[in-house]
Amino acid sequence: MYATVAAGGFRRYATYRAATAAGVFTNTVFGLILVYTYTALWDERPHLGGYDLAQAVTYVWIGQSLFKTLASGGGGVEGELMERIRTGDIAVDLFRPADLQLWWLAADLGRAAFELLGRGVLPFVFGALVFDLALPTDVSTWAAFLVAVLLGMLVSFGIRYLVALTAFWLMDGTGVTQMAMLTGWFCSGMVLPLNVFPGALGEVVRALPWSSLLQAPADLLLGHADPLPTYAFQAGWAVALLAAGRLVQSVAARRVVVQGG
């Protein structure tokens, strides 16, 4: 059943071809802006964060290819889930013969798979054709990278599911969503690699779950991290966040209020 839900999530996002094309264009343009910004920065500090310029440019295109896949700034199922909570439709979901969290996780994995293939590949290919990227030549590194991306999907969903569940208490989740978006951009490394952050700030942001979204997969692909410790870090956060989501869900389900009923 959950595989069917995931396939449905993939097909659902695949229907919006114009939006996908616009997203590919947007990610490519932002990639170019970041590349030239990073080039100016790395000209002043050639080995900033332990990256050389080619690795920094590669990091940019990894980020653009995973931006919607891992929803670093939010997006995906949480908006729809928040709306269902606000309108009271969530009461119907809770009576379905399916686990609420697994249902939305499957739908989000389907969405993420489409975003990776439909919106992530082309900007990365463009970057590889136009710039001199520091890409690995062995298949094992690429395979390790994809495993880290999958674990990043689980961590991302865990964060956004908790954000969505706040609607049980707040009803309007706009403020929480915007805070989560800004935190995700900053703490995932989407603005700058987390390796660049100095001192205690760098240690804190690298220990937070958002570093599993971009920094961890990127470091694997760039040869700056070992697979097993990276997987352990990501899996630990995935388990903790999904468990927290299940706990909050059980508390929230006890106070479901159907508006107007």
Q: What does DSSP assign to residue 48?
A: G
Say how many domains are in the chain.
1
145 within some domain: yes
Question: How does the average pLDDT of the chain come out, rounded?
Answer: 89
Alpha helices in 71-222 (DSSP H): 77-87, 90-95, 100-114, 121-130, 139-165, 167-170, 174-188, 199-207, 215-221
56 within some domain: yes
Query: Which pLDDT belongs to residue 260?
Result: 44
260 within some domain: no
Query: Which pLDDT belongs to residue 257?
Result: 55
259 within some domain: no
92 within some domain: yes
- List pLDDT tens digits, range 94-103: 888 888 899 9
pTM: 0.91
Show the domain range for 101.
2-253
164 within some domain: yes
Q: Count the alpha carbons within 13 Å of 157 in the hemisphere toward its beta carbon.
A: 25
How is residue 170 written in tokens?
């707040």
Query: Which pLDDT belongs to residue 215?
Result: 95
Angle between helices 139-165 and 100-114 (to 10 degrees): 130
Residue 256: pLDDT over 70? no
Mean pLDDT of 199-218: 94
Q: Residues 1-22, buried b or exposed e (16+ Cβ, 10 A)?
A: eeeebbeebbeebeeeeeebee
120 within some domain: yes
3-state secondary structure (DSSP) of residue 61: helix
8 within some domain: yes
Mean pLDDT of 41-49: 89
